[in-house]
């Protein structure tokens, strides 16, 4: 199994409507986009569809992000296609955080888990 990171563009409404999102992005000046960074063992498209549908596993646990379900617009492959798949979940989680922080440094507003 391999893991990939992915980026979803969010509606800018997330910044005005979500206190948690605003607090996580004090550097945001409204010029660039709001983004969600995640990692998955599925394809980014499959994972995006799970988020949008409010996917739950067999035990009934919700596996989708409320922020993506409510504000997700589309995938942004230009922001993640350069990152090769990783062999472990731990590597992918680390890369997810690194990419999110890199995008914040570029003045995007970013949410990641």
CA–CA separation, 16 and 54 (whole Å): 22
Query: Over the stretch 35-85, which tens digit does the pLDDT of each residue have?
Result: 999 999 999 999 999 988 887 777 777 777 899 999 999 999 999 999 999
Average pLDDT, the chain: 92
pLDDT over 90 for what percent of the chain? 76
For residue 109, give the nearest of 36, 52, 38 by alpha carbon: 36
Place of tokens 């983004």: 35
In contact, 6 and 80? CB cutoff 8 Å: yes
Instruction: State the pLDDT at residue 3.
Output: 98
């Amino acid at each position: 199994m391999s893991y990939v990171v992915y980026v979803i563009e969010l509606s800018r409404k997330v910044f005005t409507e979500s206190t948690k999102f605003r607090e996580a992005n004090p550097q945001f000046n409204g010029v660039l986009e709001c983004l969600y960074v995640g990692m998955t063992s599925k394809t980014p498209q499959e994972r995006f569809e799970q988020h949008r549908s409010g996917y739950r596993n067999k035990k009934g646990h919700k596996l989708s992000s409320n922020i993506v379900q409510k504000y997700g617009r589309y995938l942004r492959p230009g922001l993640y296609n350069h990152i090769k798949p990783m062999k472990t979940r731990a590597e992918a989680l680390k890369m997810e955080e690194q990419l999110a922080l890199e995008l914040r440094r570029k003045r995007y507003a970013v949410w990641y888990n």
